[in-house]
Amino acid sequence: MTSSSPAPTTEDAAASSGAPSPSPLSPEDRSARIAVTVFPVLILAAAVFAFFVPSAGQALAPFTAIFLGIIMFAMGLTLTVPDFALVARRPLPVLIGVVAQYLLMPLIGLGIALLLQLPAELAVGVILVGSAPGGTSSNVIAYLAKADTALSVTMTSISTLLAPLLTPLLTLWLAGSYLPVDAGAMAMSIVKMVLIPVIGGLVVRLLLSRLVDRVLPALPWVSVAGISLVIIAVVSGSTEAIVSAGAIVLLAVVLHNGAGYLLGYWAARLLRQGERAARTTSIEVGMQNSGLAATLAAGAFAPAAALPAAVFSIWHNLSGAMLATYYRRSAEKHQDDAS
């Protein structure tokens, strides 16, 4: 899911100072919080619809790249220059998060594919999910968890900008033994669907900031609608795979996502990062841009390869909400721990 990034100057400041949470959330924050809460329900409904009415979903399949481009443009609209300035001010935690994202998740995906002896198409799909950049729903989850939202936004932004290079290379390296991977074509697809829309949104935000500020509360819903349409298109082409391999795919996704949370947290702690930074890294590593993975898999491989990303899209938002609840309830114990 791609959603508007909540402002880090409210609960972030309160959590780091030990002060009580400030007053009313901004319209953007309220919209993002509601969107991330109902998002799993909406995409689950979309998946069920596509499974039982596959003809409707297949009509959307040619437009998945457009849907993803709209989602990524909405992400670009939420970005500001300070999101990137954090790289200069706090390079180490950003570096840890991005390296963990692109090192841990692809290798975990390969390990799970080998452990569960997944068929080639599903194995490639799991590895591709792991090789995708961070999902921007992690920004809202980080906010709800009282983690470091500004750090989360920066990690997501940097990993997204690196995706045209790293996602194809990692997929080629780790999944090439399962199926042929055209890394060059995949890189160009990511440039068109991700890099250009994100940069375009950022430029529009810089030039028309007042106008964009007015539409920020609507952006989470644009993203929810876009990813729901992607899920409908993917599931409608994977009905046979769902019937035959749905349970094993769900197991793979749960293991992948959970291992990302756990290893992301401990990677940061072992490198002497504070509790809030470690929790942020945990969320960022565990939550993937599953919409991008699904779109790439459907375009580059057989429809079944997109199934792990579709299931991941549902599961990581459910698990992220549960993790945010746990982190939020225990945040007071770590108020004095530097981030």
Does residue 23 fall inside a structural domain?
Answer: no
What is the rounded average pLDDT for all residues in the chain?
83
- Is the pLDDT score of 181 beyond 50? yes
In this prediction, residue 335 has a pLDDT band, given cuts at 50, 70 and 90, of: low
Q: For 142-169, what is each residue's pLDDT tens digit?
A: 877 888 888 998 999 999 999 999 999 9
Does residue 339 fall inside a structural domain?
Answer: no
Does residue 334 fall inside a structural domain?
Answer: no
Stretch 274-287: mean pLDDT: 94
pLDDT at 11: 42
The CA distance from 275 to 139, in Å, is 17
Per-residue CA distances from 166 to 89, 142, 146, 179, 183 (Å)? 24, 24, 30, 18, 10
Can you tell me whether residue 134 is helix, strand or coil?
Answer: strand
pLDDT at 34: 66
List the domain range (segments joined by +) for residue 256: 28-329
Does residue 234 fall inside a structural domain?
Answer: yes
Cβ-contact 42, 222 below 8 angstroms: no
- Is the pLDDT score of 1 beyond 80? no
Does residue 7 fall inside a structural domain?
Answer: no
In this prediction, residue 332 has a pLDDT band, given cuts at 50, 70 and 90, of: low
Per-residue CA distances from 26 to 30, 107, 137, 251 (Å)? 6, 39, 18, 38
Stretch 194-222: mean pLDDT: 87
Cβ-contact 237, 306 below 8 angstroms: yes
Per-residue CA distances from 286 to 112, 259, 264 (Å)? 15, 7, 7
Contacts of 95 (CB under 8 A, 6+ apart): none
In this prediction, residue 26 has a pLDDT band, given cuts at 50, 70 and 90, of: low
Report percent pLDDT > 90 for the chain: 38
Q: Is the pTM of this model over 0.85?
A: no
**For the chain, what percentages of helix, strand and coil (3-state, to nearest 5) are there?**
80, 0, 20
Phi then psi dihedrals of residue 289, to 5 deg: -80, 75
- Is the pLDDT score of 10 beyond 80? no
pLDDT at 338: 46
Does residue 5 fall inside a structural domain?
Answer: no
pLDDT at 65: 86
pLDDT at 6: 54
Stretch 314-320: mean pLDDT: 85
Stretch 239-252: mean pLDDT: 86
pLDDT at 245: 81
The CA distance from 297 to 217, in Å, is 31
Number of domains in the chain: 1
Does residue 12 fall inside a structural domain?
Answer: no
Per-residue CA distances from 277 to 44, 150, 316, 318, 320 (Å)? 31, 10, 20, 22, 16
DSSP secondary-structure letter at 288?
Answer: B
Does residue 8 fall inside a structural domain?
Answer: no
In this prediction, residue 133 has a pLDDT band, given cuts at 50, 70 and 90, of: very high
Which CATH number goes with the domain that contains 282?
A: 1.20.1530.20
